[in-house]
Chain A
């Protein structure tokens, strides 16, 4: 009787230990799964800064988000004389200066409800009204441009203390219809906007050098703009790819 009892106790202990071990193993697996899940969630949340939430949701679910036409205000910004700067400072310094610049510009844009759709070296493409319906997108884009000017002025003071050359910025604003969607190949894709509106914003940015100003906008933006923005009309200029000469306005300040 006693050996049988001992055997039963041994079996029970073995089963209990085996179950405890299995439970611990399951717990570890669950913890790893939770960890991976959290990383994915954070990634998904972070992605919502770069593409509309529905696009992120569709990507997370493994489906292709559709391309769409949207009425947006495009801000195209480029550093003036950056190529010259890139030849005169150390590569590490150049990258640090550029990253500092981009961080400040992105902050100014996000603060005014825009989002950066593309970084192109020292330039950037930002969209207003691309994620959500935004009836005040022109005002937002103009305020962002002024905030970028102010950020750059502050950054230049920091660079001056380091005896680095000051940066100068050209910004072009234009409103119109763009096509938004995932652009790229399977290896590298980006949610961005393409079309004539984007091209014209880039050309208007180029015109800042011709006119000797830092912020230029087109008629499509001007007619929607709060009258408290102080503008100066500039002579029409021909730009590549556009049949008619383009009339632009220099944005001086906000008189609020």
Chain B
């Protein structure tokens, strides 16, 4: 007979992240039945993020498109992808995504002390060398200080990871670099998810929820990019992922993001250019330059804008959002959330939501482009 001692010390654990300052949400939930039905079809569930992002349907669709459960991983095990998600979210101080990952892991039976150990210190956590190399790589990828080069993947090769698996590790880290910013910039409310695993009824239904989560996890299979998916923004990056299901997913998100009409293409190109410049990624800068040239912005004008993030050539929206784009690389949540809220008040909700999506995508894509350029 097990003594009835309620394990408060573990269940009521207050992660450091929960004490990180986090502003009130800058967006109102705006459910859209069609978009939510799409997510239910694709993922078998609706992430809460979706109801805040409906002003930009491509961001809602990206919640399924870049999701590691959605037949995207052909070489990397999904449980390790979940730990990468946890590590990257912790490193980006994203309370929202960390809470989500903690919930997913808890429901699948991962004990809280194990989650805490991983979040507290990768150096100290008990991990096999293969997993440790993947998690350390993912964290360095996310941190981008400095941007990763081909040599940084060497510990992964030594630990036995294949080249396609290394690309998938980078892709999963990039996807969470994206999700973390989508949640952090508008300060999506983290509290409901943070408290959920500790509810008594969640403990009762944890097994059933865990089984449901596991059923929704679909591994992918190697696949070649179809010929019609080879051209488009960041085509060299997408081509470098050819052979992985992630390549088609990334192609889809990039095409949708650039096709969306909320912000002009030129503005999106400028956001990518600023993020690439701030990260110091020449490959992404060159691609952003190509996109901007296609929209009529030549090298002298672009260089003038990038030199000081200001120019008479910028319209009012661009002048307001470019300075915030540079801050999306490294930040403290509350500080960037206050700036983001001020931007929302200046440019309006719809352009703000699209800015959040594009700046987040630029962060993921530029990190990935830097790494794969060196590897390919």
Contact = CB atoms under 8 A, between A and B. Distances in A.
B97 interface: no
B71 interface: no
Contacts of A226: 307-308, 310
Contacts of B280: 133, 135
B151 interface: no
B5 A24 contact: yes
A45 B326 CA distance: 22
Interface stretch (B8-16, B159-167, B242-250): B8-16
Given A27-B9, A52-B145, A132 B120 contact: no
Interface stretch (A34-42, A78-86, A164-172, A197-205): A34-42
B26 to A, nearest CB: 20
B228 interface: no
Contact of B5 (A23, A41, A113, A134): A23
The A contact surface, by secondary structure, is: helix
A131 interface: yes
Contacts of B14: 38
B121 A61 contact: yes
A31 B11 CA distance: 10
A135 B278 contact: yes
A34 B326 contact: no
Contact of B330 (A34, A37, A60, A131): A131
Interface in B100-120: 116, 120
A31 B16 contact: no
A160 B164 CA distance: 67
A16 B279 CA distance: 60
A61 B123 contact: yes
Query: Which of A34, A53, A60, A226 has most chain B Cβ within 10 Å?
Result: A34
B310 A256 contact: yes
A16 B3 contact: yes
Contact of B309 (A34, A57, A60, A136): A136
Interface in A1-31: 16, 19-20, 23-24, 27-28, 30-31
B308 A139 contact: yes
B145 A54 contact: yes
A136 B305 CA distance: 12
A31 B9 contact: yes
A37 B16 CA distance: 9
Nearest to B91: A53
B5 A20 contact: yes
A42 B20 CA distance: 9
Contacts of B120: 37, 41
Interface in A184-229: 226-228
Contacts of A57: 121, 123
Query: Which of A20, A131, A135, A256 has most chain B Cβ within 10 Å?
Result: A135
9 contacts: A16-B3, A20-B4, A37-B120, A42-B19, A132-B330, A133-B278, A134-B278, A136-B309, A227-B308
10 residue pairs, one from A and one from B, having the closest CB atoms: A61-B123, A41-B16, A31-B9, A20-B3, A226-B308, A30-B9, A23-B5, A133-B280, A19-B3, A132-B330
Interface of A: 16, 19-20, 23-24, 27-28, 30-31, 34, 37-38, 41-42, 45, 52-54, 57, 60-61, 113, 131-136, 139, 226-228, 256
Given A34-B13, A61-B124, 20 more contacts: A19-B3, A20-B3, A27-B5, A27-B8, A31-B8, A34-B10, A37-B116, A38-B16, A38-B19, A41-B120, A42-B16, A45-B16, A54-B143, A60-B121, A132-B330, A133-B146, A133-B280, A134-B278, A136-B308, A256-B310
